[in-house]
Amino acid sequence: MELAIGIILGCCALGAGIAMIAGIGPGIGEGNAVAKACEAIGRQPESSGKVTTTMLMGCAVAETTGLYALVIAILLIFVAPGRFVDIMLKAVGK
Amino acid sequence: MNDNNTVELAKGKPEMKQPTGGFKFADFLLVLMMLLPIAAGITLKVLFATPTKGIEIKGPMIYCTFELPVQPLPITEAQVNSWLVMISITGFALFLTHGIRARVYTKRQFIAEWIVEKAEGLVKTNMGEYFAGFSPFIAAMLALSAFSSLMSLAGLFPPTSDLNVVTGWAILTFILITAYRMKCGPLTYLKTFGDPAPAMAPLNIISELATPVSMSFRHYGNILSGSVISVLVAAGLGGLSELIFGSFAETFPVLRVGLPAVLSIYFDVFSGVLQAYIFAMLTMLYTAGAFPADEFFKRHPDKAPKTTAEA
């Protein structure tokens, strides 16, 4: 029984860690966005306000996939273990 | 009242000071209305929180639960805090507009006018002339979201790091989007789903339903991840200072000075305000984008904005 619970907890933690690999994508994407924004401001310093606003909007939208992963990781760490252990105990009949 | 003001203006500057009139008793009450909710929130938290040693990452506390026929309705910290924020913002707005008059300018009135002008400008540039009436709604959403996130500065649970609160706002936005998409009748609404080709309909439906999900996850995830990282960093620094400085650090964790404050400025202030802006911006863009403007103005020429008619 302890082994089964241990496997559940360990796999939840592993899953959370693997889910956060998705953080790579938004990192690269936002880096690109900011780099291009810097180039644009360097070329046209007078339009810096508009470029910054648009860049922040784009960053927020690009962040979405990373945040999906974050929510899944948070659920796996804080919610899923209890739920899974309950299901297992019910299945065993204790 | 208007005549009175013009007379005062004619007399010159010293008389202009009179209506600013200093701090009246009503103003004092309104300032109390702004500050008391925060104090009430802190008091509630102190009364209900159980003292724990070490760190803990947990959701909002449940203050009480009402038994309803369908399912019990818990009143959580997040709900109570968002009500407190609403009361506080109402007090702030009333304080800014109290004793407002035409042609007599006070500092408060300048601030209020600046806020109104900024909100109207934002809505008009992003949504167009037809949606000009949206500015109070957008400003209210912006203020509620920003001040909810800033609540963590007072040591309270920020309502925006509860998924339920933010999902409520996102569903409101979804209803708005759907309502404006339906402006030309349900048939046109259904036709938008088969937009490039009818085979795309399932994908379009999914992307439509994903809008509130992604909006709520974005707001909630940003605020919550900030508080989780802050707690982890504070705990790590506490442990590290205990390792280095020994028992002295148990009463005063030395290394906790400094870095958590800098993180808090980024995660609580910058990120919170930015997310509020992004939420309001996305609401504006989605609502304005869902509105079939050409079709609608073709059917109702009288409602078309005058600027396009002149141009």
Every domain of chain B and the residues it spans: 22-292
User: What's the confidence (pLDDT) of residue B52?
Assistant: 67
Phi, psi of B64 (to 5 degrees): -155, 165
Q: Which of A56, A64, A74 sits opposite B214 (nearest CB)?
A: A64
Domain limits at A24? 2-92
Distance from CA of A71 to the nearest CA of B (A): 6
More confident residue, B17 or B276: B276
Residue B221 in 3-state DSSP? helix
Is the CB of residue B214 less than 8 Å away from at least one CB of chain A?
Answer: yes
What's the pLDDT tens digit per position in B55-75? 666 777 788 888 888 888 888
% of residues, chain B, pLDDT over 90 = 12
- Report how far apart, in Å, the C-alpha atoms of B209 and of each of A59, B32, B163, B205 are: 22, 42, 17, 6
Position A94 confidence tier, pLDDT thresholds 50, 70, 90: low
Under an 8 A CB cutoff, do B218 and A64 touch? Answer: yes
Question: Contact B221/A60, CB-based, under 8 Å?
Answer: no
Give the H/E segment covering residue A35: helix A24-43
Q: Percentage of chain A with pLDDT > 90?
A: 34
Q: Is the pLDDT of residue B9 over 70?
A: no
B104 or B11, which is more confident?
B104
- B57 to chain A: which residues are within 8 Å by CB? 78
Is A18 at the interface with chain B, CB within 8 A? no
How sure is the predictor about A41, in pLDDT bands with cuts at 50, 70 and 90?
very high
Q: Which of B15-24, B171-180, B198-207 has the lowest mean pLDDT?
A: B15-24
The 10s digit of each residue's pLDDT in A4-16 is: 889 999 999 999 9
ipTM: 0.73
Chain A positions touching B220 (Cβ under 8 A) are: 71
Residue of A nearest to B162 (CA): A71
Domain with A69 in it: what CATH number? 1.20.20.10
- Looking at the structure of chain A, the number of domains it has is 1
Determine the average pLDDT of the residues in B212-219. 89
